[in-house]
Amino acid sequence: MSIFIDQSTRLLVQGVTGRDGSFHTRQMIGYGTKVVAGVTPGKGGELFEGVVPVYDTVADAVRETQPNAAVIYVPAAAAVSAIFEAADAGLGLIVCITEGIPVLDMTRVTPFLHERGARLIGPNCPGLISPGKCKIGIIPGNICKPGRIGVVSRSGTLTYEIIHQLSGHDFGQSTCVGIGGDPIVGTSFIQCLSAFQADAETDAVVLIGEIGGTDEQQAAEFVQRAMTKPVVGFIAGQTAPPGRRMGHAGAIVSGAEGTAAEKMAALERAGVGVMQRPADVVPLLKERL
């Protein structure tokens, strides 16, 4: 099994003919993802790579090709409208890769999605992959390996490093989810942990957090209360100078709660195996499995 996506996922790509959209759509198709439609206003009627039909609107694409998921590769100024359009067309899973979306705009997205029962992954995220089944977003498929370890992360490239460590030691992954590093994201650590807990083919979970906010502390409480599967974690930003604002919009430290030390302490109190460096992931998993 996997969470959120599998072989039956039928994907629509918003921004399919743009620079990033076209590059990553080729990668997703090459991986085996069922890309059934693309959307670029003004280019309806074209075929991407001679295979994928392009539509002017998401509604047209949904009516003609019956996708059940969308991925968004459009500039920040248009990304929220793209999320609204996908949710309004009835798509249950929306993955937004776009970074730089204003927080105020995201405050409008959350209730809109809730009303329509849609799940958003992101924004400002690498997407997700269920190795051997489906890839949505920009996670490199060649570093992933099918298996029974779930991965959930606020980071982007650090996710790739952890996956590389896992695959290199024959710890394949059930699903890897990059939830995004912005202050407001569509899917939380807790929602992913809950899904992994319910997934019969996930044996353990790797959680990758960052400084800023309290999401990791809330995840630690959930692990202690509701998880029976082993969880190991890493917090990025352990050497960040006090008061320094880091790259991710969500990496804003207010008082002690957002520091790496507080997050690591909260995870340890919850029984989570905490890494000092990404290379520790395999030894910690071996201890707990």
Q: Which residues are catalytic?
A: 248
Q: Is 159 helix (H, G, I), strand (E, B) or coil?
A: helix
Residue 39: CA count within 13 A, CB half-sphere = 27
Q: State how far the Cα of 24 lies from the Cα of 73, in Å rounded to an integer.
A: 9
DSSP string, 190-226: HHHHHHHHH-TT--EEEEEEESSSSHHHHHHHHHHHH
| Cα dihedral sign, 259-281-201-7 | positive
- Helices 215-226 and 260-269 pack at an angle, to 10 degrees, of 0
Phi, psi of 82 (to 5 degrees): -65, -40
Nearest alpha carbon to residue 120 among 208, 73, 179, 161: 179
Q: Which residues are 54's β-sheet partners?
A: 38
Residue 10 near residue 24 (C-beta atoms within 8 A): no
